[in-house]
Structure 1
Amino acid sequence: MIELKNIRKSFGDKEILKDVSANMEPGKTNLIIGASGSGKTVLMKCMVGLMKVDSGTVLYNGQDFTAMDDHEKKPIRQEIGMLFQGSALFDSMTVEQNIMFPLDMFSSMSYRERRKRMQECLDRVELKDANKKFPAEISGGMKKRVGIARAIVLNPKYLFVDEPNSGLDPQTSLIIDKLIKDITVEYNITTVVNTHDMNTVMESGDHIIYMHQGKKQWEGSNEDIIFSEDKLLNDFIFASEFFQDIKEMRKLEMFRDKNWRAKQAGGGNK
């Protein structure tokens, strides 16, 4: 688990994060959502140590990450995988070289073992016959898959994903969302996704944090969103009549779902 306690961050006179506390839960897809300028990107950067907090603590499995020096942070950073918005692949390296890069840097495996692990990750993201291709020779969706394979090649405990669907068509976005969610559950990873994609919110949002003007405005699951009466959240998620209609349809579907009603009766939902 990743715990955030009273995180504050300012740039000059502008306060970006205002006393943010939250937990990122293992085995779940934890989403950080919010409008541009809400603080979600800064929050993620503070979590991975790319920015230092002004005050507050970030704990990885109970260890105070914010109080560590660079040497002390290294073991935790080696347990972190990162999928960047633009995939951030090395243009001069082939697909397999990109995936093997973290292994070459940090692993004590033999070359044969590294190649085997690389191929396992390629197979897991369902990429075939792409080993020798360069990033310029593959599609945007394939680049995301390569990025995911590289992010998980060291068997991370924590996976950070920045705007996974940026620049992708709707069908490919669904595939990437499902892949991230499946890997999260399969390997019991604490996955944190920074997104503005509403399909990701509704389909993959096991645990969602909605940021508004630097504060944690709302927290819950994608089921909780359907019944939330938070005006700021509803104005953000269901801004159009189309999404308002979807919300009402989803409510009806959930009321008709016997398993969901039994869950409510047993106190399984917040």
Structure 2
Amino acid sequence: MIEIKDIHKTFGENYVLKGISAKFEAGDNNLIIGGSGSGKTTLLKCMVGLHEPDQGSVLYDGRDFTRLNFKERIEIRKEIGMLFQSSALFDSMTVEENIMFPLNMFTDQPRREKLKRVNFCLERVNLEGKNKLYPAELSGGMKKRVGIARAISMQPKYLFVDEPNSGLDPKTSIVIDDLINEITEEYQIVTVVVTHDMNSVMGIGESIIFLYEGQKEWEGSNKEIAHSDNKNLNDFVFASKFTQAAREKL
């Protein structure tokens, strides 16, 4: 489990996060949703140490990440996998080399063991045999799947995913959502997904927090979201549905 307690974050005079607390359980698809500027990506970055919160705590199974020094954080970082919005693959590396990168950084396994793990991860995301391709040779959906393969290469306990469906067509987005859901359930990972995609929310959102202007406005499941009486949440949900419907007509 990951627990965040009273997280605050400012950038100069910009007060981005205003005392957010939440729990994220293993085996669930934990979603952070909200409009642009609501603070969801900043919150994710505070959770993984890319930003330091001004106040509050981030606990990984009771270990207070915010109180650890750089060396002490390394042990927790070894347990974290992350899929960035752009996939963040190294253009000069092959698919195989990209997935092997965390293994080279954090383990002293022999190459044959690393390659075995790479091939397992490629098989898991349905990209068997794509080892020697470069990112420029991949579609957007394939890049996301390679990013997922790299994120799970270290067999993480915690998986963070930032806007996984950004730039993808609806059909490919469903494939990515299903893959994240399957991996989360199969390995009982604590998965935290930042998204504004309502199709993802309704499809895999078992546990959802909605941020509005840096505050947690609502918390619940995809089964409860349609029945909420929170005005800001309803405005976000129905505006998102309208935008998606309008795009599909173009």
Q: How does the TM-score come out when normalised to structure 1?
A: 0.88
- Equivalent position SS for 2:171: helix
- State the partner residue of 1:179: 179
CA change 1:233–1:104 in 2 (3 A) is: same
- Secondary structure of the 1:238 match is helix
Residues in 1 aligned to 2:189 and 2:32: alpha-carbon distance in whole angstroms: 16
- Residues 79-124 of structure 1 deviation map (CA, whole Å, 9 limit, x = unaligned): 0000011111111111111111111111122111111110000000
Larger radius of gyration: 1
- Map 1:202-241 onto structure 2 (within 5 A): 202-239=202-239
Alignment correspondent of 1:3 = 3
Q: What is the match of residue 38 of structure 1?
A: 38
Q: Deviations over 1:182-231 (max 9, x none)?
A: 10010000011110111000001011010000000000110010211111
In structure 2, C-alpha distance between the alignment counterparts of 1:50 and 1:240, rounded to whole Å: 28
What runs of 5+ residues in structure 2 fail to find an aligned partner? 246-250
Q: Given the superposition, is the C-alpha separation of residues 16 and 240 from structure 1 closer, same or farther in structure 2, using an over 3 Å criterion?
A: closer
Inter-partner Cα distance in structure 1 for 2:39 and 2:125: 31
* 1:166-193 deviation digits (Å, cap 9, x = unpaired): 1111100000000001100100000111
Q: Which residue in 2 is equivalent to 1:48?
A: 48
Alignment RMSD: 1.4
- Given that 2:4 and 2:58 are in contact with CA atoms closer than 8 Å, whether structure 1 keeps it comes out as yes
Q: Which residue of 1 aligns with 2:248?
A: none
* 2:99/2:118 contact within 8 Å kept: yes
Alignment-derived partner of residue 158 in structure 2: 158
Cα distance in structure 1, aligned partners of 2:99 and 2:241? 43
Counterpart-to-counterpart distance in 1, 2:104 and 2:74: 16
Aligned residues: 244
The amino acid of 2:84's aligned partner reads F
Question: What displacement does 1:35 show?
Answer: 0.6
**1:200 matched residue in structure 2:** 200
Query: 1:24 deviation in Å?
Result: 1.1
Give the secondary-structure state (helix, strand or coil) at the position aligned to 2:128: coil
Output the amino acid matched with 2:157: K
Instruction: Give the percent of matched residue pairs that are identical in Structure 1 and Structure 2.
Output: 63
Q: CA deviation at 1:4?
A: 0.7
Asked whether 1:128 is paired with 2:128, we answer yes
* Residue 104 of structure 1: aligned partner: 104
Distance in 1 (CA, whole Å) between partners of 2:170 and 2:216 is 28
Give the Cα–Cα distance (whole angstroms) in 2 for the partners of residues 161 and 89 of structure 1.
14
Q: Tell me whether 1:170 sits opposite 2:170 in the alignment.
A: yes
Point out 4+ residue stretches in structure 1 off by more than 2 angstroms.
Answer: 239-243
Amino acid aligned to 1:212: Y
1:14 is the counterpart of 2:51: no
- Which sections of structure 1, spanning at least 5 residues, go unmatched? 246-270
Label 1:9 to 1:111 Cα distance change in 2 as closer, same or farther (>3 A): same
State the one-letter code of the partner of 2:58: V
Alignment-mate amino acid for residue 10 of structure 1: T
Alpha-carbon deviations, 1:234-265, whole Å to 9, x = none? 1100227869x9xxxxxxxxxxxxxxxxxxxx
- Number of the residue aligned with 1:252: none
Shift of 1:129: 2.8
Q: Distance in 2 between matches of 1:128 and 1:6?
A: 43
Question: Using the alignment, how far apart are the partners of 2:48 and 2:150 within structure 1?
Answer: 17
Deviation sequence 1:9-33 (CA, Å, 0-9, x none): 1111221100111011111111111
Relative distance call for 1:110 and 1:237 in structure 2 (3 A) is same
